[in-house]
Chain A
Amino acid sequence: GIQVEQSPPDLILQEGANSTLRCNFSDSVNNLQWFHQNPWGQLINLFYIPSGTKQNGRLSATTVATERYSLLYISSSQTTDSGVYFCAVGVTGANSKLTFGKGITLSVRP
Chain B
Amino acid sequence: EAGVAQSPRYKIIEKRQSVAFWCNPISGHATLYWYQQILGQGPKLLIQFQNNGVVDDSQLPKDRFSAERLKGVDSTLKIQPAKLEDSAVYLCASSSYAGAMEETQYFGPGTRLLVL
Residues of A within 8 A of B (CB): 4, 31, 33, 35, 40-45, 48, 86, 88, 92-103
Question: Which of these binds chain A: B15-23, B65-73, B78-86, B103-111?
Answer: B103-111
Q: Which 10 A/B pairs are nearest by Cβ-Cβ distance? A: A100-B42, A43-B107, A96-B98, A48-B104, A48-B102, A100-B43, A95-B56, A97-B45, A45-B104, A96-B103
Q: Give the residues in chain A near B55, CB-CB below 8 Å.
A: 94-95
B104 to chain A, nearest CB (A): 5
Complex: A95 Cα to B48 Cα, angstroms:
8
Q: Give the residues in chain B near A101, CB-CB below 8 Å.
A: 42
Complex: A25 Cα to B43 Cα, angstroms:
16
In contact, A33 and B105 (Cβ under 8 angstroms): yes
B44 within 8 A of A: yes
Q: Give the residues in chain A near B45, CB-CB below 8 Å.
A: 97-99
Q: Give the residues in chain B near A92, CB-CB below 8 Å.
A: 98-100, 103
Task: Identify the closest chain B residue to A6 (Cβ).
Answer: B42
In contact, A94 and B42 (Cβ under 8 angstroms): no
Q: Give the residues in chain B near A94, CB-CB below 8 Å.
A: 50, 55, 98-99
Checking B41, B42, B91, B110 against A88 with a beta-carbon cut-off of 8 angstroms, the contacting residue is B42
In contact, A42 and B105 (Cβ under 8 angstroms): no
Given contacts A45-B105, A86-B43, A96-B98, list 10 more A-B pairs with CB under 8 A.
A40-B109, A41-B109, A42-B107, A44-B107, A45-B106, A92-B98, A97-B48, A101-B42, A102-B42, A103-B41
Task: Identify the closest chain A residue to B100 (Cβ).
Answer: A92
Q: Give the residues in chain A near B98, CB-CB below 8 Å.
A: 92-96
Q: Give the residues in chain A near B91, CB-CB below 8 Å.
A: 43
Complex: A95 Cα to B106 Cα, angstroms:
17
B36 to chain A, nearest CB (A): 11
- List 29 contacting pairs A-B, 8 Å CB cutoff, sorted by A: A4-B42, A35-B107, A41-B109, A42-B110, A43-B43, A43-B91, A43-B93, A43-B107, A45-B105, A45-B107, A48-B102, A48-B103, A86-B43, A88-B42, A88-B105, A92-B103, A94-B50, A94-B55, A94-B99, A95-B48, A95-B56, A95-B98, A96-B48, A97-B48, A97-B56, A98-B45, A100-B42, A100-B44, A102-B40
